[in-house]
Amino acid sequence: MDFAKAFDLHLVSFGLLLFVYFNTRRWTKENNSSRLFKYVIIAMLFNLTLDFFGWYMILASTQGDFARHLNFYLNTFIYATLALPLTFWIIYIDYKIYHDKVRLKKRLIYYFSPTILLVVLSLINLFVHVIFRIDSSGVYHRGPLFYLVVLIMYMVPVWSVVMVYRNRRTVSTRLIESILMFWIIPILAAIFQLFFYGWMITWPVFCVVTVFVYILVEKDAMLKDNLTQLDSRRVFEDKAKELIKRRVPFCLMIIDLNDFKSINDKYGHLEGDSALKGFASILKVSVKGSDILCRYGGDEFIALLPSDSIRAAEKVASRLESRLEDYNQKRLKDYTISISSGYRFYAHYEYLDLKAMLSQVDEHMYKNKENSRVNSKQ
């Protein structure tokens, strides 16, 4: 393969990954999924850079003892870190399937095992050339255990496909399609490169497919709350500002879980998370598909209901109370979930910014919460 073309391919791939990295970076503080995806991008950038310089040393036919030793140690480092991007990919896939940080931490040693194996083989190769060698002319040769490295690399996609297959009933179709696309296309490229030595296309193909996975899966996930899968605060704010700008009437509703802190204190944060997810599922079935639902923070939720009347919010409040009653009766817990809500209708002729609107509705919600406390004591 012409070196100039290979240079262009790596440069384009590097640019695409940087674009995705800077688009995900601002989301990582509040989204575990995007933080893990960021690590995938960093590992890809790292290996793409190493791959470029490794092939440069081979294709440029650099001469001399210094160049030969540099070439050898650079390729040793490349083999030692070869599985890192794939390791971070399987960590990311695990989290996308289970959404469980505790479970993931317990399995990190297994997911890093391909990288550990390659590090060990690369260290052995420093003394016994089992993976590759560089002859006195600076020519690269594969060693007897080269295909063991290939086998270790293929462990990762097989592992992830098995994981997805076992959870196929709970995993979204889009995620399954994206994972299959991510593995199949680069594997075909790797097989091609394996038999047509000198074609440096494997990592660029991995990079391009990573960008597609970002577009198909992660970009949508960044717009969701990590726990409840409701829309993020940013989605709500963007949509509300759009309605205000276009003078579209809507109802703004704030919902707060009563005494939520006592659930966390008495039963633990995992049970608190379960309560939040349970309420989010009730909220989803209590509104129309066109309404915007957002976890605004902690145990506070917002519903944005495009409508011509306050009746939209009143109906949602009524449905929530009814479904919560059913939920509490069916759920065998020592606690119940109850809510306080505040809502207001905003007509197209009102000139309030979003901050002022939220302040008004929030005040209404806290008045209702206080009234509920007084009534419960009587």
- Give the pLDDT of residue 371: 73
Q: Flag whether 228 is in a domain.
A: no
pLDDT in tens, 221-261: 666 777 788 887 878 888 888 888 888 899 999 999 888 88
pLDDT in tens, 233-243: 878 888 888 88
Q: Among the three residues 174, 193, 221, which one is the final residue of a domain in this structure?
A: 221
What CA–CA distance (Å, rounded) separates 221 from 92? 12
CATH of the domain at 157: 1.20.1070
Residues 327 and 215 grouped into a single domain: no
Residues 73 and 177 grouped into a single domain: yes
- Give the pLDDT of residue 350: 79
Residues 305 and 202 grouped into a single domain: no
Q: Among the three residues 221, 244, 260, which one is the final residue of a domain in this structure?
A: 221
Residues 64 and 210 grouped into a single domain: yes
Q: Flag whether 346 is in a domain.
A: yes
Residues 239 and 369 grouped into a single domain: yes
- Give the pLDDT of residue 123: 95
For the chain, give the mean pLDDT. Answer: 79
| Total domain count, the chain | 2
Query: Which parts of the chain have pLDDT scores under 70?
Result: 1-8, 24-31, 54-64, 169-203, 215-223, 332, 372-378
- Retrieve residue 97's tokens: 């399937």
Long-range contacts of 212-220 (CB under 8 A, 24+ apart): 212/178, 212/181, 213/178, 213/181, 213/182, 214/20, 214/23, 214/24, 214/37, 216/174, 216/177, 216/178, 217/96, 217/174, 217/175, 217/178, 218/24, 218/33, 218/34, 218/37, 219/23
CATH of the domain at 250: 3.30.70.270
- Give the pLDDT of residue 376: 58
Q: Flag whether 226 is in a domain.
A: no
Contact 104, 98 (CB under 8 A): yes
For residue 179, count other CB atoms closer than 10 A to its CB.
Answer: 23
3-state secondary structure the chain: CCHHHHHHHHHHHHHHHHHHHHHHHHHCCCCHHHHHHHHHHHHHHHHHHHHHHHHHHHHCCCCCHHHHHHHHHHHHHHHHCCCHHHHHHHHHHHHHHHCCHHHHHHHHHHHCHHHHHHHHHHHHHCCCCCCEEECCCCCEEECCCHHHHHHHHHHHHHHHHHHHHHCCCCCCHHHHHHHHHHHHHHHHHHHHHHHCCCCCCHHHHHHHHHHHHHHHHHHHHCCECCCCCCECHHHHHHHHHHHHHHCCCEEEEEEEECCHHHHHHHHCHHHHHHHHHHHHHHHHCCCCCCCEEEEEECCEEEEEEECCCCHHHHHHHHHHHHHHHHHHHHCCCCCCCCEEEEEEEECCCCCCCHHHHHHHHHHHHHHHHHHHHHHHHC
What CA–CA distance (Å, rounded) separates 307 from 343? 13
Q: At what angle do helices 3-24 and 202-213 cross, to 10 degrees?
A: 30
- Give the pLDDT of residue 74: 85
- Give the pLDDT of residue 124: 95
- Retrieve residue 373's tokens: 């406390």
- Give the pLDDT of residue 186: 65
3-state secondary structure 193-240: HHHCCCCCCHHHHHHHHHHHHHHHHHHHHCCECCCCCCECHHHHHHHH
Residues 313 and 174 grouped into a single domain: no
- Retrieve residue 23's tokens: 């688009």
- Give the pLDDT of residue 375: 60
Residues 238 and 214 grouped into a single domain: no
- Give the pLDDT of residue 374: 54
pLDDT in tens, 285-310: 888 877 888 888 888 999 998 888 88
Q: At what angle do helices 84-98 and 101-111 cross, to 10 degrees?
A: 150
Residues 46 and 118 grouped into a single domain: yes
* Structural domain for 238, as ranges: 233-377
